[in-house]
Structure 1
């Protein structure tokens, strides 16, 4: 068996504005279990970056430890990547972002990597509003260590081994809204039609864009008693609304069924068009978003779609008032103030 993809591609494959085909956005052949939802998420990232015509080498992928954190090897093989320490992805992403703010950053994590050992880092990266797309591939179990329940496993859910989880789950989407994340979305790995525009909007958002994606573990958590199995999620999804992403400087058009339609303007002028289906829900109102999530939870439903967005709050660089030129491009001349200025600074410290 080979893990190398064939180099040949049909010469008439569709190309984006940069002249690239999807091949330029793919990565290595996945070694995850056949049918893993994580691979579906990787495919949507590939599709979103291709459609937005992002230069692959302008992307940095940072991950922690876990099945989910292996996935950066499987998408955007021509981009930069760093597989960091368990639960510490946000710290590494923060350092990289501060050094070069012109990159597109993907932070890839799992429910164990974020909701357990990485919870403290998750809280503070939201607090700082780091400009990156933070994706949690959430399967409710620890797939690398044979399927134990994770902190996001629902109370009463049954594992493949037959044990019943007695603990209430950490609801990452609800927590992200409460903590003040400026973009919060939730989706299902099997819903490419919804997930692609969400990722595209997250990339264009200025600040931390958090996506909690339910991604069933086909090996350890896809049994009939699991609340994160394919069948359960399909039967218990409630969508905030149908949506599409409209890039800047292109005609805004969308066709929707009956319902209230609204357009959410993102930081760069792009739009997320929404046909609101969930009752009493406004994606630009935090209280409305929290209430919609809680109502869905009370009905044992999983609320998917764009839950909350705030395009007016500045990212970490705006808060810190960092230099317009990325730090990694500053020369010695830019960084050294000169002898006279150094003497003045030193005299003020005496």
Structure 2
């Protein structure tokens, strides 16, 4: 058995502005369970990067440990990649971003990798507003170790083994809002029409962009009684609105009824087009987004879509006033200007 994709593709496949087809954005064949929601998320990442015409070699993908953290093998095979230790992906992403600010950083994590062992790292990468996309593939269980409940499993949900979870779940989207994340969204792996525009918008956002994606585990957490199963999510999903991304300087060929939607300009000149479906939803109101999440939980609903985006935000490079040039391009004489410069600095401190 081989895990290498066949090289043949239809010669008439659509091409993006770079002249690439989706082939240039694919990876190896997945070894995850057939029907795993994580593979749908990988396909959405491929499509988002293809549609945005991002050169694959200008992307860095990072992950930790878990089923979700295996997925970077299955997308963007021509990009930079780093598989870190359990829960430590944010530290590696921070170091890489500090060294080369010109790459697009996509971090992939799971509910165990983020909500348990990596919680401290998750908190601080939000606090620093690192310029990256952070995607959690949230299935509510530990798939690699036979399906134990994770920290995001809902209270009262039943595992495949029949045990009922007695603990309150950690709401990662609500936590990201509370900690000040400048872009927060939630989606479902089975809804690519919603997920692809959200990933495109997150990539276009300058700052920390968080997407929590409910991704049912078909082997250990897709049973009756589980609140992370396909059937449960489809029956209890509520969307904040219809979302699309309008590229910079591209004519908008569709139209909306007056008063039903709004345009949100991203830092790179692109727009997110939001068509409101849920009542009283304002994507710029952080407290309103937190209340909407809580109200949805009280109704046993899963609120998806763009929950919050900050119009003006300062990412980590701006906060610490780092070099405009990537650190890996600086020469030794720039990094070590000599003893006379050091002496001048010391004189200023006396």
TM class by smaller structure: over 0.9
Aligned to 2:176: 176
SS in 2 for 1:121: helix
Query: Which consecutive unaligned segments of at least 5 residues does structure 2 have?
Result: none
Give the aligned partner of residue 191 of structure 1: 191
How far apart are the structure 2 equivalents of 1:120 and 1:171? 15
Deviation at 1:270, TM superposition (A): 1.0
What whole-Å deviation, never above 9, does each CA across 1:313-338 have from its counterpart, x for those lacking one?
11000001111111111011222223
Residues 187 and 258 of structure 1, relative CA distance in 2, 3 Å threshold: farther
What is the 5 A alignment of 1:112-123?
112-123=112-123
Task: Give me the TM-score of the superposition, normalised by structure 1.
Answer: 0.97
**Which whole-Å deviations, capped at 9, do the CAs of 1:272-298 have from their partners, x for residues lacking one?**
111111121101010111111111111
Helix, strand or coil at the partner of 2:120 = helix
Structure 1 CA distance, aligned partners of 2:143 and 2:259? 40
Partner SS, residue 78 of structure 2: coil
Distance 1:60 1:199 in 2: 15
Answering whether residue 328 of structure 2 is matched by residue 325 of structure 1, we say no
Structure 1 gaps of 5+ residues are: none
Q: What's the CA shift for 1:348?
A: 5.0
1:155-185 deviations in Å (ceiling 9; x for gaps): 0000000000000100000111111000000
Aligned residue for 1:210, secondary structure, equals strand
Counterpart secondary structure, 2:186: strand
Match of 1:141 in 2: 141
Residues 1-350 of structure 1: pairs in structure 2 closer than 5 A: 1-256=1-256, 260-347=260-347
Distance 1:230 1:247 in 2: 32
The one-character-per-residue Cα deviations of 1:33-55 (angstroms, maximum 9, x if unpaired) are: 00000000000000000000000
Distance in 2 of aligned mates of 1:53 and 1:216: 30
Normalised to the residue count of structure 2, the TM-score between the two structures is: 0.97
Task: Name the CA distance, whole Å, in 2 between partners of 1:280 and 1:13.
Answer: 42
State the aligned residue count: 350
1:204–1:270 contact (8 Å) kept in structure 2: yes
Greater mean alpha carbon deviation, residues 2-11 or residues 298-307: 2-11
- Deviation track 1:82-132 (CA, whole Å, cap 9, x = no partner) reads 000100100000000000000000110000000001111111100000000
Whether the aligned pair in 2 keeps the contact of 1:132 and 1:208 (CA below 8 Å) is: yes
RMSD between superposed Cα atoms in Å? 1.3
Query: Distance between the aligned counterparts of 2:143 and 2:334, measured in 1?
Result: 48
Distance 1:293 1:256 in 2: 27
Give 3-state SS (helix, strand or coil) of 2:312's partner: coil
Contact 1:72–1:81 at 8 Å: present in 2 too? yes
Query: How far apart in 2 are the matches of 1:349 and 1:319?
Result: 23
